[in-house]
Structure 1
Amino acid sequence: MNIIAREQPAGFAPEIRRDPDLDIQSGELSEVLQVWHALRGDRLMPARADIRPADFRRHLALIALVDVQRSPLRVRYRLMGTAIVNALRRDLTGRWYDEVYPPAIMAEVEQVYGWIVANRRPLRTSGVALFFDRSMYDYEVVNLPLSEDGKEVDMVLGAMRFTMAEGPPVPPT
Structure 2
Amino acid sequence: MAACRHFSGDRPLTGTGQAIRAQLIVPEQQELFDYWRSKANDGRYPTRADIQPAELRRLLPSLSILEVVEGDAPRLKVRLAGTRLRDYLGVEITGHHLDEYDLGDQTEYWDAAYREVILGGRPAQGVVPLTPWQQPNIFQFWLRLPLVNGEGRIVMVLGHDAFMQSEKAHALAGRANLHIA
TM-score (normalizing by structure 2): 0.74
Which piece of structure 1 moves more, 79-88 or 105-114? 105-114
Shift of 1:157: 0.4
Aligned to 1:159: 160
CA contact (8 A) 2:104 2:132 kept: no
CA distance in 1, matches of 2:112, 2:136: 25
CA contact (8 A) 1:45 1:120 kept: no
State the secondary structure of the residue aligned to 1:149: coil
Name segments (4+ residues, structure 1) moved above 6 Å: none
Figure out how many residues of one structure are paired with residues of the other and give that number. Answer: 149
Shift of 1:135: 4.3
Structure 1 counterpart of 2:53, which letter? P
TM-score (normalizing by structure 1): 0.77
CA contact (8 A) 1:47 1:150 kept: no
Structure 2 counterpart of 1:162, which letter? F
Structure 1: gaps of 5 or more residues: 1-18, 167-173
CA distance in 1, matches of 2:92, 2:136: 18
CA distance in 2, matches of 1:38, 1:119: 21
Structure 2 counterpart of 1:117, which letter? I
> In angstroms, what is the RMSD of aligned CA positions?
2.2
Structure 2: gaps of 5 or more residues: 1-15, 168-181
Distance 1:132 1:120, change over 3 A: closer
Among all aligned residue pairs of Structure 1 and Structure 2, give the percentage whose two residues are the same amino acid. Answer: 25
Aligned to 1:127: 128
The structure richer in helix per residue is 2
Structure 1 counterpart of 2:82, which letter? G
Shift of 1:102: 4.1
Q: Which has the higher contact order (CA 8 A, sep 6+)?
A: 1
Alignment partner of 1:117 is 2:118: yes
State the secondary structure of the residue aligned to 2:78: strand
Aligned to 1:24: 24
CA contact (8 A) 2:103 2:132 kept: no
